[in-house]
Amino acid sequence: MAKEQKRKSWAEPFRIKMVELLKMTSYEDRQKAIEEAGYNTFLLRADDVYIDLLTDSGTSAMSDRQWAGMMMGDEAYAGSRNFYHLRDTIEQYYSYKYTVPTHQGRGAEHILSQIMINPGDYVPGNMYFTTTRLHQEMAGGTFVDVIIDQAHDPNDLYPFKGNVDFEKLDKLVSRVGADKIPYICIATCVNMAGGQPISLANLRQLRQWCDEHKIPIVHDMTRVAENAYFIQQREEGCSDKSVAQIVHEICSLTDIATMSAKKDPMVNIGGFLAMNDADLYQKACNMVVIYEGLHTYGGMAGRDMEALAIGITESVHDDHIRARVGQVEYLGDKLAEAGVPIVKPIGGHAVFLDAKRFLPHIPQEQFPAQALTAAVYVQSGVRSMERGAVSAGRDKNTGENYMPKLELVRLTLPRRVYTQAHMDVTAEGVIDVLEKAEQVKGLRITYEPEVLRFFQARFEPIE
Ligand code: F0G
């Protein structure tokens, strides 16, 4: 029999059974809404948004099977059958033996940081994530960036910008000593770098390096399936492997995992901490009862654990992930063709606009990426997220603003939610703003919360 011909299109392997109606707004409505929200898209009412690309977190569409799973919830306080299904699914697909459910990713980060980090420790990572770094700092640790330099350059086309730079790691060890490094935190498809993957080769080398130095690897596996897809597409010798196989291989190279299940596995809420070490598991079980709930439900309802177990199996299907990343690339290509400055290569979960090049007249101190999120919203009703100086926050010791090299706006695609026409409307809106970019004004902060300021800070335009 002839080999099946591969479909050229990335078209979705599903059809739509139910729809959610949206409110349409005018330019004037949106101007008023963004003013009331202090120019912070986190403070908009979702009803005032047409296409919501704020985040891919908890915003994906569950499948009919996941919804059916919700009806199979066993809400027993202890020992729910859904917990065992979830635990076994995690071991099957992700290789980790022990699972502690948490309410979402940061719940897992909290427990892990409190157990493993001592004051004065250093925690290297392939770039930071906002909540991850904060939990490390709150436990007394200091985050150290060990991602390759290319990751900080939005124009560098290197296919694995999530890779670790071993020179940076070696330098850290000789400066502070391996015993001051409780673990190294590796994110798959590094969010803040633009959704950029780490290669299997780099991860294998890291495994060796960590074994030599007796340092465990913590895997922030929030977007591991997207990373695996890029490995399949780009890494030598991997094109014949399935995404599921690559996901399993990535996880097997690491010791511990934190998961925000609101992304890859397409549930609206949930997460977990997973590991292979029995002692660590005991400690995590002791902590989870204080902050989340009993160790067989953590922060989750039985029905949510069931939907998550099913979502994990769906998230690693080749056809699913190809359509998921295909849609992101469709939007990115459309923007790039029109001359919009974006981070390249296009990431797995989002298209990132390069605000420094988009709005060259606004200095970074006036938060160009924040200003761009507001302008895109007012123009088109599309909600995006700032990932630049506002998100980076301040140095915990000096109080100075961090000024990251990457000053980005993230157009994040929820999974299985929007259509190709929605992508066209999004591109039109961004291109319209580009055509009158010089009219966009910089912003100053009028209210700033102490931590994770990007969520609730308020701004006004500098006239
Ligand atoms: N790690 C990564 C890489 C993330 O992207 C997130 C969340 C978390 C950890 C924390 O997980 O939200 O479930 O507590 N990212 C969301 C985003 C908020 O929009 O990128 P959480």
Quick check: is 387 catalytic?
A: yes
Cα(260) to ligand 1 centroid in Å equals 6
Dist. CA 424–CA 430, nearest whole Å: 10
| Domain residue limits, the chain | 27-56+318-461, 64-315
129 annotated active-site:
yes
Closest residue by Cα to residue 165 from 196, 198, 211: 198
**106 catalytic per annotation:** no
**CA-angle at 51, arms to 45 and 57, nearest 5°:** 75
| Average of per-residue pLDDT across 225-232 | 98
Residue among 56, 198, 222 to mutate when testing ligand 1 (max atoms within 8 A of CB): 222
Please check whether the two domains, 27-56+318-461 and 64-315, share a CATH topology: no
CA distances for 302 relative to 72, 75, 199, 298, angstroms: 8, 5, 35, 10
1 pLDDT more than 60: no
Confidence at residue 3, expressed as pLDDT on a 0 to 100 scale = 61
Fold classified for 64-315: Aspartate Aminotransferase; domain 2 (3.40.640)
Identify whether 77 is a catalytic site residue. Answer: yes
Q: Which two tokens stand for residue 158?
A: 């290197």
Q: Of residues 170 and 6, which shows the higher confidence score?
A: 170
Lowest mean pLDDT among 232-236, 244-248, 392-396: 392-396
Nearest of 24, 42, 12 to residue 447 by alpha carbon: 42
Tens digit of each residue's pLDDT (9 = 90 or more) over 106-120: 999 999 999 999 999
Q: How many CB atoms neighbour CB 304 within 10 A?
A: 24
Phi and psi at 153, nearest 5°, equal -110, 110
Chain Cα centroid distance, residue 267: 14
What is the reported pLDDT for 86? 98
- Tell me what pLDDT residue 8 has: 83
What is the tens place of the pLDDT at every residue in 375-408?
Answer: 999 999 999 999 999 999 998 889 999 999 999 9
Q: Is 454 a catalytic residue?
A: yes
Query: How many Å from the N-terminal Cα to the C-terminal Cα in the chain?
Result: 70
Query: Measured between alpha carbons, how far is 94 from 316 in angstroms, rounded to an integer?
Result: 10
- What is the distance in A from the centroid of ligand 1 to the CA of 9? 30
Residue range 43-52, pLDDT digits in tens: 999 999 999 9
| CA 158 vs CA 53, 99, 153, 335, 354: distances in Å | 26, 35, 10, 20, 17
297-341 pLDDT, tens digit per residue, is: 999 999 999 999 999 999 999 999 999 999 999 999 999 999 999
Active-site position among 48, 121, 165, 220: 220
Q: Distance between CA atoms of 276 and 187, rounded to whole angstroms?
A: 18
Residue 459 bears catalytic tag: no
- How far is the centre of ligand 1, averaged over its atoms, from the C-alpha of 226 (Å)? 15
Q: How far is the CA of 105 from the centre of ligand 1 (A)?
A: 6
Supply the pLDDT for residue 4: 65
> Alpha-carbon distance 121 to 319, whole Å?
42
Q: pLDDT digits over 47-74, tens only?
A: 999 999 999 999 999 999 999 999 999 9
Mean pLDDT of 271-288: 98
- Stated length of the chain: 463
Over 70: is that where the pLDDT of 2 sits?
no
> For ligand 1, what atom is nearest to the CA of residue 104?
13
Residues 6+ apart with CB under 8 A from 249: 200, 241
Instruction: Choose one of 185, 191, 218 to mutate for the ligand 1 pocket test, by most ligand atoms within 8 angstroms of C-beta.
Output: 191
The set of protein residues with a Cβ atom below 6 angstroms from ligand 1 is 55, 57, 104-106, 129, 131-132, 187, 191, 220, 222, 260, 262, 271
For the record, the structure tokens of 96 come out as 């980790």
User: Is the confidence at residue 40, as pLDDT, over 60?
Assistant: yes
Give the pLDDT of residue 397.
86
Q: Is the pLDDT of residue 6 over 80?
A: no
- Residue 396: predicted pLDDT: 80
What span, in angstroms and rounded, lies between the C-alpha atoms of 161 and 158? Answer: 6
Residue of the nearest CA to atom 5 in ligand 1? 191
- CA distances to 19, 35, 190, 400 from 127, in Å: 37, 33, 7, 19
Provide the pLDDT for residue 306. Answer: 98
pLDDT per residue as tens digits for the range 413-454? 999 999 999 999 999 999 999 999 999 999 999 999 998 999
358 a catalytic residue: no
Indicate the burial class of 278 (C-beta count within 10 angstroms; 0-12, 13-18, 19 or more): exposed
Question: Closest residue (by CA) to atom 9 of ligand 1?
Answer: 105
Mean pLDDT for the chain overall = 97
Homologous superfamily, domain 27-56+318-461? Aspartate Aminotransferase, domain 1 (3.90.1150.10)
Q: Residue range 233-250: average pLDDT?
A: 98
- pLDDT over threshold 90, residue 5: no
Q: How far is the CA of 413 from the centre of ligand 1 (A)?
A: 14
